[in-house]
A and B are shown apart, each in its own frame.
Chain A
Amino acid sequence: MKFSFLLNGEPQVIEDLEPTTSVLDLLRVNKRLTGTKEGCNEGDCGACTVILIDDNGARAVNACILFLPQIANKALRTIEGISSHDAPHPAQQCMIDHHGSQCGFCTPGFVTSMVAAQINNDTDHDVTLAGNLCRCTGYAPIFRAALACEGTKAPKWFHDDQSDLRTLAQSVDAKLPTTSDELANILAEEPETTLIAGATDVGLWINKDMRDIAPIAFIHHIKDMEHITEHPDHWEFGANVTIEKMRVWSVDAQPSLTPLLTRYASTQVRNSATLGGNIANGSPIGDSPPALIAMGAKLVLRKKDTKRTIDLHDFFIDYGQQDLQSGEFVQLIHVPKNQINLRCYKISKRFDQDISAVCGAFNLNITDGVIQSARIAFGGMAGIPKRAKHVEACLTGKKWDMNSIKASHDQWSQDFKPLTDLRASADYRLSVARNLLTRYFYDLSDNPTTIQEVSA
């Protein structure tokens, strides 16, 4: 493996390092840039936040679950590279002025998140900073600092990095496929290859389970899997579309997805994690599958030159088992358009950046007060993301009222036998799943149901 990248504006060449070396270790151990901190080594605290720059712009990412090939041909800015000693970045000065640091350990991560958000003109600080944990301040002064430096222009180095990238020697390793055809060939030769797109899941296998994974293909350079394209009746997503890109898309195209996608992990993780990865890893608690199943999404799977299209719902067979043949990969996702009655509810211990205890997606087709068809899908209720088929059947053809909801009461336990684990008990999961249908009813009838919209 050999590649180049820009580190705080300086061209660097990487060779003789394991591809599963984290960017955090590269910075702290090899480059002795210790401003970027390790807080959790799993992408949940944000202390290692760095800024990754390419043609698409700037994004905050967690360096601890970012591996070396993922920064190939890109520009990286760390806390050491956003200002000079005598001229602090406005985000830094505001953090000082508003007493935003106490112990200071999380501070570089907060500052880099703020700078990335400023470059993107994003002032929703509760969202952009949800992935940075602070244990000292109670966040109030950090929020005040973020407010105070709104409107800061993108720094000169951002534009410099973007233009310098164009002249940086482009070097691509054989294991960095740039087209889906190349990926198909790699998998044909070595079907056991582990694919890494955003590394937000595989990163934990390496950092926490200390697994030696081989062979690996890093697939984030594949351009023909990065698109979101509009078709007459559906949207087509390449598997490499990041969750953050999908979230931005949803604001206009499918607004009922936005609240769910905004609570998908954190900005840093959404900037790395991909839709394809969230589906292909088969997690029973991944947050995009229930919504996509409720929408009737389809997957395009590819093996060498053969493609097949299946219902996303059918992709999940059993816990840890997907309908994915040896050498096959998820290439595209087709999402039906204009699902106006879709609503998605994520229930977790902590509101932001938590894994769902229960994630329910409801999509009823109602005409003249009668339920014509129903698609209801849940995460966290079974070993796979799963439809509530008994409930759906019970509702279909009935009037859309509280009586029908009550009548479905016993169907829920037919559909789901959830587990008790550290996130919630089986009883709680089942009660909440049931209750969410009531919330859906009030929600569709425009009654306020959202505690996030209540203010004192």
Chain B
Amino acid sequence: MSVNKPFPHDAAKLHVSGRARYIDDLPVSDDCLHLCFGTSTIARGSIQELKLTPVRNSSGVIDVLQASDLIHANDVSPSIHDEPLLSDGTIHYLGQPIFLVIAKSHIQARKAASRAKISYQQDSPILSIEDAITANSRFEEGPRIWNRGDLKRGYEQATKIVEGSIEIGGQEHFYLEGQAALALPQEDDEMVVHSSTQHPTEVQHKVAEALGVQFNDVRVEVRRMGGGFGGKESQGNALAVACAIAAHRTNKPCKMRYDRDDDMLITGKRHDFRITYRAGVDQHNKIIALEVVHYARCGWAQDLSLPVADRAMLHADNAYFLPNVRIESHRLKTNTQSATAFRGFGGPQGVLGMERIMDHLAHDLNTDPIAFRELNYYRPAVAAEHDTTHYHMSVQDFNLQEMTSKLLADCDFENRKQAIERWNADNHTMKRGIAFSPVKFGISFTLSHLNQAGALVHVYSDGSIRINHGGTEMGQGLFQKTAQVAAEEFGVSINAIKITATDTAKVPNTSATAASSGSDLNGMAIKVACEKIKSRMAALLAAQYNKSPDDVAFTKNEVHIGRRVLSFGDAAKACYEQRVSLSATGFYKTPDLEWDRIRGVGNPFYYFAYGAAVSEVVIDTLTGEYRILRADILHDAGNSLNPSIDIGQVEGGYVQGAGWLTTEELIWDDQGRLRTHAPSTYKIPAMSDRPRKFNVNLWDRGNLKPTIYRSKAVGEPPFMLGISAWLALSDAISNCGPAYPNLDAPATPERVLKAVGRVRHGL
């Protein structure tokens, strides 16, 4: 068996020795040129005069391009063609690319780009959620509104109503490898592009449009990314297109990588949200009415903001049954970086909103926050009417009751809670807090047609195997998982499988590696391709040995035909010599999806993935500083394809999620300049920020749906387990006084200290 095994990452040996190649490591000829964007220094307005002579005269500069130099499409948008590669004269945000420098070295290009003299006609920028609401600056004609049940009656039945709001900050991806691309011009106007992208097919399309050629003239290759997290779903388009245009003009290899500060100033981040709520509970502490309003700050271009905001709405319930509910979502257009995909894709904001509501309700009801959550869980086993989401989808695989009980028992929750209370009573300046949070996360792209994948599998005549599929490797272990699928199918050892770079010329028309879908979709496509080859091999070998194909088994690097045994290599050779095709494509599409995003009705997801976490923290009430002391997690990865890789996703997701809600603070000034544009000012978690005690276990039960070996998607769901750390901070603050902490996110030490003050003084 190869699946369910904890094999290391396929490239681990290359990673640890520095031999794993990223875009900037690829050997290129000495005539390779290097690119850099010149960017705007205002957030909104138009260009009055653009003096590029000092740029052109700068050392090493070959050429400088502006929008008027672009012959074909000037667009890098993944959605509605509203994102020019180079400004058309209008400035939409501070950091927007205006011109493109082509120079002999990276540093020469950067130096030259800083030398332009630009004068602007400045307009007053729309920066904040408040600004955008006031100006009615938005995408779509108005808010999306989804309803279910009878809200009026719900509020009438309510015995307690709680209102509030929360500000939720955005998040910089901070992939360690910045955005990068390399274009290599070919004969006959063809172009090969190496791109650090999660979406090679989209890069292929944008490059083809920019060059005025057909899709088949462009080949995009992605071996690996140094981290993606959604930040390379659409944000790599600009670099790839710039390189292709420059390579086409100069007929030389052209490479572009953003310096870290440029990367953070130019590219989009997680959407920040304001969520307001009015929640009513009945006499049994069941939520009977809920109104939620989402305000999403989308930035200047539409990018992926509509599906992001949709997913936030889809996760506004998290794990709780909401009989009467109204969700309103505003997608606000601002003069800031165009907010984009980031692990969870709006889901985390929706879930955080709901967990905030649960925390607030439990506080004001003076009830146990976990029992209150359990009481309001979906209950498919108890009552059919309690299993339907606000978008009318039946939740059939809900397992959080069991998972919650197991997690609480495993982490000794009750005893620890009591010990914390005693400790807090004895302490002058420090308080500890502990909190639980669950996650239910819908799996599938909500744009249903994206739920498809292709694969290409070759068996060579010595029995070695090469596999390829449309998914990209960004560290998540997708390549290793799909290799394990192929090894399992052919009954060979993992070493027999070679995984090759994602390549639009091998598997066409792919979807982005996103929405946690990578192994579900591509694993299945690989399996289909392997099955085709196996059935051809089985038919031939069965005929040769006078057996039925059903008598042929692939196992332990051998092929058994009844009692005859061939090595897999010999079997492959025999098939080759009998002119059997040992190469096949595979294709998979997720079944049972149907979704109307305007009405908010349907089955947008194939299934749900679940997780549960308990975090314990300590805060310093004099400074607001805090530490995460311990985290215990039980996460549902179905029958894990690779438990080590999945646990890695859970650990990494938790810490990234906790980072989002604690130290990672994005700050723009009143001119729209992002002030936190480097790791010196934007603080992702460091080594000592991980929980000192960190227990992660997988809920190892098969998916009810026939996914690949009944595994579940695991990329995004655990990110939301970090919410338990934020709730634990709220709990610790609650121990300082009677009022509700009303903690916003990120809960920086400053926000924690302010909340301590509010709670103490009952504000």
Q: Could you tell me which A residues sit within 8 Å of B by CB distance?
A: 25, 28-29, 32-42, 44-45, 47, 78-80, 83, 85, 88, 91-93, 95-97, 99-108, 111, 125-126, 129-130, 132-143, 208, 210, 345, 347, 349-355, 357, 421-425, 428, 431-432, 435-436, 438-439, 442, 447-449, 451-452, 454-456
How many angstroms from the CA of A322 to the CA of B440 in the assembled complex? Answer: 58
A345 CA to B429 CA in the complex, in Å? 15
Q: Which residues of B contact A104 (CB under 8 A)?
A: 9, 11-12, 14-15, 20, 224, 226, 475
| CB–CB A92/B626 < 8 A | no
> Which of B330-338, B509-517, B616-624 faces chain A?
B616-624
Q: Which residue of A lies closest to B228 (CB)?
A: A103
A140 touching B651 by the CB < 8 A rule? yes
Asked if B625 and A210 sit within 8 Å, CB to CB, the answer is no
Are A135 and B229 in touch, CB under 8 angstroms?
A: yes
A-B pairs under 8 A by CB, number: 272
Q: How far is the CB of B212 from chain A (nearest CB, A)?
A: 34
Which residues in A have their C-beta under 8 angstroms from that of B630?
A: 456
Nearest Cβ on chain B to A93's Cβ, whole angstroms: 8
- B645 in contact with A99 (CB, 8 Å): yes
Query: CA–CA, A134 to B476, complex, Å?
Result: 13
B680–A34 touching, CB < 8 Å: no
Q: Kindly report which residue of chain B lies nearest to residue A437, judged by CB atoms.
A: B622
- Contacts A99-B9, A100-B16, A352-B688 known; list 11 others, CB within 8 Å: A38-B24, A42-B678, A88-B17, A101-B15, A103-B225, A134-B176, A138-B685, A140-B696, A355-B681, A442-B428, A449-B430
Bound CA span A132–B679, Å = 11
Q: Which of A92, A130, A423, A448 contacts B686 (CB 8 A)?
A: A130
Which of B105, B618, B665 has the most CB atoms of chain A within a 10 A radius of its CB? B618
Residues of B within 8 A of A (CB): 6, 8-9, 11-22, 24-25, 27, 105, 107, 110-111, 114, 173-178, 224-229, 259-261, 416, 427-430, 432, 474-477, 616, 618-620, 622-627, 629-630, 644-645, 647-648, 651-656, 663, 665, 667, 675-676, 678-681, 683-690, 692-694, 696, 748-750, 753-754
* Residue contact A108 to B8, C-beta cutoff 8 Å: no
If the complex has contacts A102-B477, A126-B688, are A95 and B428 also in contact, measured as CB distance less than 8 A? Answer: no
Contact B18 A455 (CB under 8 A): no
Please tell me which one of the listed residues A92, A210, A456 contacts residue B17 in the complex, with CB atoms under 8 A apart: A92
- A44 near B680: Cβ-Cβ < 8 Å: yes
Given contacts A139-B690, A439-B622, contact A37 B685 (CB under 8 A): no
> How many angstroms from the CA of A126 to the CA of B750 in the assembled complex?
24
B692/A103 in contact, CB under 8 A: no
Known: A352-B687, A456-B416. A136 touches B645 (CB 8 A): no
The reply to whether A96 and B8 contact each other, CB–CB distance below 8 Å, is yes
Residues in chain B near residue A345, CB distance under 8 A: 623
Q: Is the pair A351, B686 in contact by a Cβ cutoff of 8 Å?
A: yes
**Interchain CB contact under 8 A, B749 and A85:** no
Contact indicator A135/B656 (Cβ below 8 Å): yes
On chain A, the residues within 8 Å of B261 by CB distance are 208
Q: How far is the CB of A127 from chain B (nearest CB, A)?
A: 8
- Which of the residues B18, B176, B651 comes within 8 Å of A78, measured between beta carbons? B18
Q: Is the CB of B429 within 8 A of A456?
A: no
Is the CB–CB distance between B679 and A105 below 8 Å? no
Q: How far is the CA of A455 from the CA of B114 in the complex (A)?
A: 49
Q: How far is the CA of A126 from the CA of B627 in the complex (A)?
A: 14
Assembled-state Cα–Cα distance A139/B475 (Å): 14
Q: Do the beta carbons of A135 and B687 come within 8 Å of each other?
A: no
Given contacts A103-B474, A132-B687, contact A96 B16 (CB under 8 A): yes
- Pick from A41, A139, A451: contact of B685, CB under 8 Å: A139
B230 to chain A, nearest CB (A): 12
Distance in Å from the Cβ of A83 to the closest Cβ of chain B? 7
Measured CA separation A349–B645 after assembly (Å): 31
Assess A36 versus B430: contact at CB under 8 Å? Given A103-B227, A140-B690. no
Which residues of A sit under 8 angstroms from B627, Cβ to Cβ? 351, 451-452, 454
User: CB distance B690 to A88 under 8 Å?
Assistant: no
**Which residues of A are found within 8 Å of B224, using beta-carbon distances?**
103-104
B684 close to A135 (CB less than 8 A): yes
**Chain B proximity of A213: nearest CB distance (Å):** 13
Nearest 3 A/B pairs, CB to CB: A35-B18, A103-B475, A105-B226
- Find the A residue at minimum CB distance from B657: A138
What's the minimum C-beta distance from A146 to chain B, rounded to whole angstroms? Answer: 9
Q: Which residues of B contact A424 (CB under 8 A)?
A: 750
Give complex CA distance A455, B688 in Å. Answer: 13
Are A435 and B750 in contact, with the CB atoms below 8 A? no
A139 to B681, CA, bound (A): 21
Q: Which of A95, A105, A455 has the most CB of B within 10 A?
A: A105
Q: What are 22 A-B pairs with beta-carbon distances under 8 A?
A: A39-B177, A40-B678, A40-B679, A41-B260, A47-B176, A92-B16, A96-B8, A96-B12, A102-B9, A103-B175, A108-B17, A135-B175, A139-B689, A139-B690, A210-B107, A349-B663, A423-B681, A449-B428, A451-B618, A451-B619, A456-B629, A456-B693
List chain B residues, Cβ under 8 A from A432.
622-624, 753
The answer to whether A136 touches B259 (Cβ under 8 A) is no
Smallest beta-carbon distance A148→chain B, Å: 13
Bound state CA distance, A132 and B684, in angstroms?
A: 11
Q: How far is the CB of A268 from chain B (nearest CB, A)?
A: 13
Query: Complex Cα distance A140/B616, Å?
Result: 17
Q: Which residues of B contact A25 (CB under 8 A)?
A: 107
* Residues in B whose Cβ lies below 8 Å from that of A91: 16
Contact A138 B653 (CB under 8 A): yes
B110 touches A210 (CB 8 A): yes
Least CB distance from B535 to A in Å reads 35
Note all chain B residues with C-beta closer than 8 A to A41: 259-260
In the assembled complex, how far is the CB of residue B510 from the closest CB belonging to chain A, in whole angstroms?
20
Q: Considering the chains assembled together, what is the distance between the CA atoms of A40 and B259 in angstroms?
A: 7
Known: A135-B684, A351-B625, A351-B686. A99 touches B644 (CB 8 A): yes
Residues of A within 8 A of B653 (CB): 138
- Contact for B648 among A107, A137, A357, A455, CB less than 8 A: A137
When C-beta atoms are compared, the residue in chain B nearest to A113 turns out to be B687
Q: A448, B477: Cβ atoms under 8 Å?
A: no
- Determine if A39 and B260 form an interchain contact, defined as CB atoms under 8 angstroms apart: yes
CB contacts (< 8 Å) of B259 on chain A: these are 41, 208
Name the B residues within 8 Å of A79 (CB-CB).
Answer: 17-18
Interface pair A96/B13, CB less than 8 Å apart: yes
Contact yes or no, B18 A34, CB < 8 A: yes
Q: Which of A34, A138, A353 has the most chain B CB atoms closer than 10 A to its own CB?
A: A138
Whether B175 pairs with A40 at a CB distance below 8 angstroms is: no
Q: In the complex, what residues of B have CB within 8 A of residue A455's CB?
A: 629, 692-693
A210 — which chain B residues lie within 8 A by C-beta? Answer: 107, 110-111, 114
Contacts of A78 in B (CB 8 A): 18
Chain A residues whose CB sits within 8 angstroms of the CB of B753 once the complex forms: 428, 431-432
Say yes or no: A37 contacts B177, CB within 8 Å.
yes
Q: What residues of chain A lie closer than 8 Å to B13, measured between beta carbons?
A: 88, 96
